Copies of this chain bind each other. A is one copy, B any other.
Amino acid sequence: MPIYKAPVEDTLFILNDVLGIERYNNIPGFSDVTPDMLDAIVGEAAKLAEEVLFPLNLSGDQEGCVRHPDGSVTTPKGFKEAYELYRESGWLGLAAPEEFGGQGLPYTLHTAIGEYMSSANMSLTMYPGLTQGAIAAIIEHGTDEQRATYLPKMIAGEWTGTMNLTEPHCGTDLGLLRSKAVPQPDGSYKISGQKIFISAGEHDMADNIIHLVLARIEGAPEGTKGISLFIVPKFIVEADGTPGTRNGATCGAIEHKMGIHGNSTCVMNYDDATGYLIGTANRGLNAMFVMMNEARLGVGLQGLSVSEIAYQNAVAYARERLQGRSLSGIKAPDKKADPLIVHPDIRRVLMTIRAFNEASRAFTLWTALKSDVAHRSQDEAERQTADDLLGLVTPILKGVLTDRGFDHAVMAQQVFGGHGYIEEHGMSQYVRDARIAMIYEGANGIQALDLVGRKLGLNGGRAVMALFKEIGDFCDENRSDDQMTAYTKALKKSLNDLQSASMWFMSNAVAKPDNAGAGSTDYMHLSGLVVLGYMWAKMAKTAQGLLASGAGDREDFLKNKLVTATFFMDRILPETALRRSRIEAGSDTLMALDAAAF
């Protein structure tokens, strides 16, 4: 049977020791987070994830969601009750504004516990997850009335939210979308059209579902400049704030998906449904991107989450399963074979995943902290710097953590041999679930293009220069520290690959944009490797500091950090040179063939 244990010690090491979260107590929400409170919150979240969400993960996958002839949808057994517990414990509103019933705590904390929830049950966690994105859009672009009407219920989790972008003929290129909105005398709109792949589009877990829908107001310009965003509630909200008339927003079908079977992914039909414009007409993409950016961080986190649970199960299996003998001599003489974990090739798999997971955890929390600073700091310059970095690393985090997360689920599955291929051990589910994270909220190729085509050159490259400087400074500052030399040397080398690749784009992609497209995915991964390498260097520095000052019962934990950091530098980080060489190979051989020749 699958297992899961939230990596609480590691989370706390990163928050307290590596990132020094207590230094941010001048930022609203942070002063409430005393070390004791942090322990308590993280511990409670771990408990919910392990004991409530996780036991429903495999059964939810096997059972799936069922659409009934009347269009209603039943989620897998136990999901409704588990969601009820989740929402009653206030996890949905943890970082939401207090004025709408949230707790106003750091988004960083929300991210820390979000990892556990998605590890334990990705499908179930998506229901509140999509709600978060809708909340963010309404906070940022809603009118006071819209905020008052929807936010308290959504933050309490009584109502959930969705994002409706994709139509059968377009997903990435939203300029092509056809759903239309017809203005009504009362200021509302009638929305018509079909949306597909709508996560949590219809279900039995909430009293109302607040759909945020992209559509084109009649007569609006073609392309992306004629798209508006609408609030389309499943039940139109009465004057007293309660759900009233059933709206013309119905689930036409549940998609037959490879994974995340516990999430109700719907074809949504809008048939003269009543909708309310949110934000400015024809500027819907702007409002949508508020949801999208938040959602991208959440999806990147899913990559880590699945990688972590897959890792834990592979470790457990590798410790138990007896097969073969160690190359360096029998290790379990009392048994007929040694456990898998004695074999170097198995350890290669486990160490690779581990090294990514621990650095990815640091990366997600470091990024979440930038988000908190960008949104809450009183200091404008600080806000700006954080916002620059947040924008830059969002596509990296989404693309790299989900690509690798999937790879790791596959590697962990491989440890099980044939047992990984049957559904009973859950390893197939992790692979099938992880696969979607590479696709939704902008396929990873789009993340790479966003990074190279938009984020890199923004404000004259201000963000990327700041990142290079931060990492370069770290290397320089630790140059004279003998214990750090091995780490900083490897990191500096990789940073050099990244800087050279960036220069290459500047010299070669302006006149010939295909050179940017041809190298974009490699650049995204190159950037990701450097950032993860930076996280490892920071963690190694912290671990050494703590070890020097007497680590107490964390000594093994900290020493293992140093081993894993070395593994990352020796075995993983050198990939940057390959990525760079591919980028610098340019686009010529890619573009040479006629489309008909493929």
Contact = CB atoms under 8 A, between A and B. Distances in A.
Nearest to A223: B336
A514 B328 contact: yes
B445 A257 contact: no
A431 interface: yes
B431 A418 contact: no
B345 A449 contact: yes
Contact of A323 (B173, B328, B343, B585): B173
A435 interface: yes
A246 interface: no
A418 B438 CA distance: 10
A591 interface: yes
A354 interface: yes
Interface in A555-581: 556, 560, 563-564, 566-567, 570-571, 574-575, 577-578, 581
Contacts of A590: 344, 347-348, 351, 567
B423 A439 contact: no
Interface stretch (A35-43, A68-76, A148-156, A517-525): A517-525
Chain A contact residues: over half helix, strand or loop, or mixed?
A: helix
A530 to B, nearest CB: 16
Given A423-B257, A432-B258, A590-B351, A595 B341 contact: yes
Interface in A117-165: none
B436 A421 contact: yes
A218 interface: no
Contacts of A520: 344-345
Contacts of A515: 344
Contacts of A587: 344
Given A173-B323, A421-B439, A439-B418, A428 B258 contact: yes
A413 B566 CA distance: 35
A34 interface: no
A176 B336 contact: yes
Which of A354, A443, A564, A598 has the largest number of chain B CB atoms within 10 A?
Answer: A598
B571 A582 contact: yes
Interface in A326-345: 327-328, 336-337, 339, 341-345
Given A417-B443, A424-B256, A592 B570 contact: no
Contacts of A591: 344, 347
Interface in A310-364: 315, 318-319, 322-324, 327-328, 336-337, 339, 341-348, 350-351, 354
Contact of A421 (B172, B315, B336, B435): B435
Contacts of A170: 323
Contacts of A173: 322-324, 337
Contacts of A457: none
Nearest to A418: B197
A420 interface: yes
A517 B327 contact: yes
A564 B444 CA distance: 25
A406 interface: yes
Interface in A478-530: 512-518, 520-521
Given A344-B514, A449-B345, A443 B414 contact: yes
A123 to B, nearest CB: 13
Interface string A90-117: 0000000000000000000000000000
Nearest to A413: B435
A285 interface: no
A258 B421 contact: yes
A416 B420 CA distance: 26
A196 interface: yes
Contacts of A431: 258, 435
Contact of A196 (B166, B418, B593): B418
A589 interface: yes
A255 interface: yes
B578 A563 contact: no
Contacts of A410: 406, 435
Nearest to A516: B327
Contacts of A414: 438-439, 443-445
A521 B414 CA distance: 13
A2 interface: no
Contacts of A564: 589, 593
A183 interface: no
A341 B593 CA distance: 11
Given A173-B323, A327-B513, A581-B574, A255 B422 contact: yes
A171 interface: yes
Given A327-B517, A418-B171, A592 B563 contact: yes
A440 interface: yes
Contact of A593 (B169, B337, B560): B560
Contacts of A196: 418
30 contacts: A171-B323, A172-B323, A176-B336, A176-B337, A196-B418, A256-B424, A257-B421, A258-B431, A259-B421, A327-B453, A339-B595, A341-B598, A342-B595, A344-B516, A344-B587, A345-B445, A347-B518, A348-B518, A350-B598, A410-B435, A418-B439, A421-B436, A421-B439, A556-B594, A560-B593, A563-B592, A574-B578, A574-B581, A575-B578, A578-B578
Question: Closest 8 CB pairs between A and B?
Answer: A344-B517, A327-B513, A567-B589, A344-B518, A258-B428, A570-B585, A347-B590, A173-B323
Given A173-B324, A350-B598, 6 more contacts: A345-B521, A421-B435, A421-B439, A564-B589, A571-B585, A571-B589
